[in-house]
Structure 1
Amino acid sequence: MMMFWYGEGMSGWGYAFMSVSMILFWGLVVLGIVAFVRYLGRAARPMGAPDRPTPEQLLAERLARGEIDEDEYRRRRDALGSTTTSSS
């Protein structure tokens, strides 16, 4: 049985399509790698500003370290409580 081939296979459009699709493929691969690296870099950093201790936590730490006594602690805690409730 005899087979007839029409032309030499791919035409100029076939080569152009293959070239463009190869460029698009490698471009998507590079973009995927860049996006993945940026995602990993963002995940390693904490979001927003670092958590700062509240005034009540700072006061409790000062009491625990012995910088202030219980009377001073209670007086300052009450003063903090009155300023935070009146400003809200």
Structure 2
Amino acid sequence: MTALTALATHPGPYADGGFHWWFLFFPFGFFLFWVLFFVALRGLVFRRWGGPWGGPGRPGMHRGPGAEQVLAGRFAAGDIDEQEYRARLEVLRASPPTHG
């Protein structure tokens, strides 16, 4: 018997009953790996840089101190007096917040 004849008559991996269920793990596992990879990458981009193109992040994420905090810091440092502080605070609280 030659080697080619032996290979041709070998029953093969499916001789005991056909298709094996565990073979489905490979395509589903591959798909699941890439889905999890891109979900993690998207989360990293939004959390680290604030957005996909450096834009604003999720609602509620703050990039730094608010205008009232900056104004209070200037008042505490003595850059502005109380009258100017109160006037500017009133203007800040009267105007709607802007984004961007």
Higher relative contact order (CA 8 A, sep 6+): 1
Structure number with higher helix proportion: 1
Rg comparison, structure with higher value? 1
| TM-score, with length taken from structure 2 | 0.44
| TM-score, with length taken from structure 1 | 0.49
